[in-house]
A and B are shown apart, each in its own frame.
Chain A
Amino acid sequence: MSRGRAGRIGFAILVGVIIVYSLLPFLWILRSSLESSAGLSQQTSTFWPIGITLTHYRALFTEENFLRPLINSIVVAGMTTVIAVVLGSLAAYALSRLPIKGRMAVLGFVLLVSFFPQIGMVGPLFLVFRHLGWLDTYQSLIFPYLILSLPITTWILTAFFAQIPIEIEEASMVDGASIAQTIGRIFVPLALPGIFTAAILGFLLSWNDLLFALSFIHNPSMFTVPLALVNFRSAFYIHYGQIDAGVVVASIPIALVVLFLQRRIEAGLTAGGVKG
């Protein structure tokens, strides 16, 4: 069946194109980050880097002190995720199994917040933080990042928790277990996958931000990773190699997280997006 074979070859090509398109930009930057400065100064580039070297990575961590932004990003995104998961879990628990009036209103409000434009927060938050002396601090990022991650965390957790049958908890309580024991021994283990997924997505959303960091952080020692990368361009001696290395270092941890937690991420995105 030539039509079948042609179809299969066409499909294979399509798959190939998809993989190449997704990974090629990243691989090219990886290649450039390993090329010597002399090679990068050439008028045109070649497929294989000229003069493979790790100097750019070394310079990245010694001259540009890139470790600092990495730490800042991890701390900020981490703290934001912890708060978002705690507050979101509490709210999701209530929304999914406690008889509160106005569930729709709360969910609607949470949804509405996720539609608020980020740029609309920048001005007022800048003035407020300035007044509080919070500019160039971790909290000036953690609070705004909650706007980004708390809504989706709450949504995902609500959707996940709703799938956990309430009967199991009620059966445990009927059997005489206290509320604490029920939540601790029955509910939490079942909820952990959902919590984990929400945490990953919340972390990624916080790590992703540039606008808030750009507006509230001006002290180089408090830069987050995207902000630090953006500021590379402004230094007088711009080494393309270092920018490339910075991009690679900023992307690899994320790429690894995605590779290992791919299913969870997909589940989270669809639960948050499709289930309405």
Chain B
Amino acid sequence: MASKPVTRIPGRAFRPRPGHQTYTARRARVGYLFVLPAVIMLALVSVYPLLYNAWLSLHHDVLTDPLATHFSGLANYHLLLTDSEFWGDFLRTLIFTVISVAIELVLGMVLALVVSRKFRARSLVRASILIPWAIPTAVSAMLWKMFFDQRTGFVDFFLGLLHLPGSHEVWFNSPFWAWLPIILSDMWKNTPFVALLLLAGLQGIPHELYESARIDGANAWQIFWRVTVPLMKPTILVALIFRTLSALLIFDTIFVMTGGGPGISTEVVSYYNWYQFMTSLNFGYGAAISVGITIIAMALAFLYVRLMRQGGGFQV
């Protein structure tokens, strides 16, 4: 059987000769092989542990009592639903998330607007806001803890200089004020990320729209709310989802700064989960908590995917 003339358009298959794969099929096979290592690696280190978690959560498994491990069904979940400390942590984490994400969005937008303008110190500003983002969370938390130290910290020094109240205050001993350094540290490190995301979105808005709005007589405030924000909706939502997930899962800062104290007033769900695993050595119950947290994270993930689908699919 005669084959069609050879055309060198890559991707377009030759008529398959019996026993031979098409060019496309061969390239597809290579593609699968290339993708496989990454997918397998990810599945191994993430999917497998999650499944193991689900299995663990159905058992009573405490490391210091290895002979007492047994299948316990939904007992751990029942415990979780009635654990007042957990739900207190959940509420605290939720409130912290709402507050910090709101602040970060607003400040991030301000930063993005500032950096989008051309001015002399622009590179300096861009560099200085990026540095906090790169410093490890634990280091940043340690930094802010020293910053708020009631003897050697800057806050103490500054308030004392201005003779304002709050000098020598032991911030970490107040169930309310202990949140301030936590939020400041979190904000310091994460606002740059939000700002960069928003900046990219900002730069995607064509200048003509601003021009025409100005010609129509709108002032800066109106332009911002009627032109900028609506067009940035997808970017804002992306930033919102990423930051919400991170804030809900906050651990490093709490561990370093307060250990959940004073009392349990700054305890968050991740910290409680970690405590169950690593201090109480109760892996069954810890696994149940982890499953709960994972479900919440997955809910956010699906929200994100839906958002992307609406925005016109993956632009890759």
User: Footprint of B on A, CB under 8 Å?
Assistant: 11, 14-15, 18-19, 21-26, 28-29, 32, 40, 42-47, 83, 87-88, 90-91, 93-96, 98-101, 104, 106-113, 115-128, 143-144, 146-147, 150-151, 154, 158-159, 162, 166, 170, 173-174, 204, 207-211, 214-215, 225-227, 229-230, 240, 243-244, 246-247, 250-251, 254-255, 257-259, 262, 265-266, 269-270, 273-276
Contact = CB atoms under 8 A, between A and B. Distances in A.
Given A110-B38, A265-B134, 5 more contacts: A210-B137, A210-B251, A230-B138, A266-B130, A273-B242
24 contacts: A18-B114, A25-B188, A45-B154, A98-B31, A100-B28, A106-B35, A107-B314, A109-B42, A117-B293, A120-B293, A120-B297, A121-B45, A124-B50, A146-B45, A162-B316, A229-B139, A230-B138, A247-B143, A250-B139, A254-B134, A265-B130, A269-B197, A270-B196, A270-B199
B126 A124 contact: no
B27 A247 contact: no
Q: Is the interface of B mostly helix, strand, loop or mixed?
A: helix
Contacts of A107: 314, 316
Interface string B32-46: 111101110110111
B142 interface: yes
Q: Is the interface of A mostly helix, strand, loop or mixed?
A: helix
A174 B10 CA distance: 9
Contacts of A26: 131-132, 135, 143
Contacts, number: 312
Contact of B42 (A19, A46, A96, A150): A150
Given A95-B316, A250-B139, A117 B294 contact: yes
Rank and list the top 7 A-B pairs by shortest CB-CB distance, nearest first.
A98-B31, A226-B138, A94-B34, A100-B31, A124-B52, A115-B301, A124-B49
Contacts of B126: 262, 266
A198 to B, nearest CB: 12
A43 B188 CA distance: 27
Interface of B: 8, 10-11, 24, 27-28, 30-35, 37-39, 41-42, 44-50, 52-53, 56, 110-111, 114, 117, 119, 121, 123-139, 142-144, 146-147, 149, 151-154, 156-157, 160, 167-168, 188, 193, 196-197, 199-201, 235, 238-239, 242, 245, 249, 251-252, 255-256, 270, 273-274, 277-278, 283, 286-287, 290-291, 293-294, 297-298, 300-301, 304-305, 308, 311, 313-316
B127 A262 contact: yes
A210 B188 contact: no
